[in-house]
A and B are shown apart, each in its own frame.
Chain A
């Protein structure tokens, strides 16, 4: 089915561990985004990508790494997880355009770091 899927939906890990969140979209959208959603902060952009092999930092990139070797995949890695990275993570995609296009979101990954 067409859409954007995130995996896993839930993850519990320990501080210091590396964890990778996966995002896959079937629309061939060139733009992809990673957000985190926390109470009191709304959605904040971590990283985004305009195309394969092109990534750029968002508002809160520290502690995260992304890659985009294929248009459809945009994994987010926490290299050494900290408790402050406990959050709900959302991946989104959009088409390019002269003006900003609607973004399509996955259902999120709820990550708990103990």
Chain B
């Protein structure tokens, strides 16, 4: 069963624009993680945000978390062609159990 659901399923923008992806989840979490997957490769961890945090930054990435709405967003600023990938949110199942439940992902295409 999917805990996180990303929206939109696909997003196509011009290079230099900002890209925003959203993730909604159903049950309480301790933390939420975002991953990137380039075509034909494994997932790469981008950022982790804890349930007591509202916003976190890493380079051109900005993640927000609203636990009251059970939602998170990933913003990529000043997008580049290399940002073309699928992006997944993942939520923990049980604190400390290390199991994650992944959403189905947003496929982001950056057009030159």
Q: Which A residues lie at the B interface, using CB under 8 A?
A: 4, 31, 33, 35, 40-43, 45, 48, 50, 58-59, 90, 92, 94, 96-108
Contact = CB atoms under 8 A, between A and B. Distances in A.
B42 interface: yes
B41 interface: yes
A42 B99 CA distance: 15
A108 B41 contact: yes
A99 B91 CA distance: 11
A99 B95 contact: yes
A40 B95 contact: no
Contacts of B96: 96-100
Interface string B83-102: 00000101010011111111
A31 B42 contact: no
Nearest to A90: B42
> Closest 7 CB pairs between A and B?
A105-B42, A102-B45, A42-B104, A100-B92, A43-B102, A105-B43, A31-B98
Contacts of B42: 4, 90, 92, 105-108
